[in-house]
Amino acid sequence: MAAHSYPTHGGASAGDRLAGTGPVGGRLALFSQTAGALLLARAVASTDPDLSDQVLAAAREDLRARAHQH
C-alpha cells in the first residue's frame, strides 16, 4: 500500500493535528474524549446507571484538569 500524504496547515500534518499535538489537535482530542464519554455513558445507562455516572464524572474530572493546565 502506498503511504498517504496529507496536506499541512501551519506546519503541522493532519496526523499531528489528529494526534493531539498543537492547538487544533488538542481541541480535537478534547472533543473526542467528550463524545466518547457521552457514548459510553449512554450505552450503559439503562443496565448500569452508576457506571454511566462514573464514566461522565471521570471524563469531567480529566477535562477540567486539562483545562487548568493551559
20-34 per-position pLDDT tens digit = 567 777 888 889 999
Q: What backbone torsions phi and psi does residue 5 show, to the nearest 5 degrees?
A: -110, 120
Could you tell me if residue 56 is inside a domain? yes
Higher pLDDT pick, 12 / 31: 31
Higher pLDDT pick, 70 / 34: 34
Could you tell me if residue 58 is inside a domain? yes
Rounded to two decimals, the pTM is: 0.64
Could you tell me if residue 34 is inside a domain? no
Residue 37 has pLDDT above 70, yes or no: yes
Could you tell me if residue 64 is inside a domain? yes
Could you tell me if residue 62 is inside a domain? yes
Extract long-range pairs of 56-62: CB within 8 Å, 24+ residues apart: 59/33, 59/34, 62/33
pLDDT at 4: 55
Residue 59 belongs to domain spanning? 45-70
